[in-house]
């Protein structure tokens, strides 16, 4: 009986040691990743607020996908009514929203995506291919999940997404598109998505000629006047009031 107990104890120690070794390996991997991220931020290649690629760095990282993949896709993401977040709750709240939404984009699209911050409230993501169109629904849904602010309140955001696949652009250009043409097609699709708000729209060739400059948008194409993003009361506070 004694040898059985000794074997069990020895086996337990071995399993614990293996688990500890795996955990240490993961910790070292995270440390290397953090060091690389800090170095990239210091070099101006990563956005300090969100950790994704800056606009210039994103172009360099995304270009190989355009040149080497058969039918890559680019997503242009715009956070709806983001200016009102800054104006109403301050820039610290805006920075928190940017960080959360950037993390959601990266998580939903996965490790093969090249994600960058293009402008204040605009993100771009390049994919080797759009193998699962359902990822677009999951992305829009994820970007509409409530975000808790520092004061305990909850912001219910939304985002609009324009999607452009190289195969669709070739139908117009008859040649391999350049990176600006690729992004421009996604921007044209985003323009249509913004008219609906909180949706994704795939690029179609007619969108390049149908796109109207926003300052010249006729009344019938103009979206409704924006309203501030709604606040969802924290669950605990809401239950206390009922």
Active site residues: 121
The alpha carbon torsion through 57, 83, 103, 232 (nearest 10 deg) reads 180
In terms of Cα–Cα distance, which of 159, 157, 155 is closest to 140? Answer: 159
* 10, two tokens: 């020895």
CA distances from 18 to 8, 9, 24, 31 (A): 15, 14, 10, 20
Which residues, at least 6 apart from 85, have a Cβ–Cβ distance to it below 8 Å? Answer: 93, 94, 97, 155, 157, 229
Separation of alpha carbons 66 and 60, rounded Å: 11
Separation of alpha carbons 168 and 134, rounded Å: 18
The sign one gets for the Cα dihedral 96, 99, 104, 107 is negative
């Amino acid at each position: 009986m004694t040898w059985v107990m000794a074997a069990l104890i020895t086996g337990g120690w071995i399993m614990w040691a293996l688990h500890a070794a795996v955990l240490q390996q993961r910790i070292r991997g995270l440390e290397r990743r953090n060091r690389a991220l800090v170095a990239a931020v210091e070099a101006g290649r990563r956005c300090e607020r969100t950790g994704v690629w800056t606009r210039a760095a994103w172009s360099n990282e995304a270009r190989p996908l355009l040149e080497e993949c058969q039918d890559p896709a680019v997503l242009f993401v715009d956070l709806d009514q983001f200016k009102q977040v800054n104006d109403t709750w301050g820039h610290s709240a805006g920075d928190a929203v940017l960080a959360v939404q950037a993390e959601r984009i990266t998580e939903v699209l996965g490790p093969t995506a090249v994600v960058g911050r293009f402008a204040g409230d605009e993100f771009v993501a390049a994919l080797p291919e759009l193998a699962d169109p359902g990822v677009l629904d999951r992305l829009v849904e994820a970007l509409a999940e409530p975000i808790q602010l520092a004061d305990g309140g909850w912001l219910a955001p939304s985002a609009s997404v324009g999607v452009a696949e190289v195969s669709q652009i070739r139908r117009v250009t008859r040649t391999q598109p350049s990176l600006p043409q690729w992004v421009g097609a996604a921007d044209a699709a985003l323009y249509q998505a913004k008219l609906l708000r909180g949706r994704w729209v795939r690029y179609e060739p007619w969108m390049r000629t149908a796109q109207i400059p926003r300052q010249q948008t006729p009344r019938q194409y103009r979206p409704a006047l924006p309203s501030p993003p709604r606040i969802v009361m924290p669950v605990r506070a809401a239950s206390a009031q009922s």
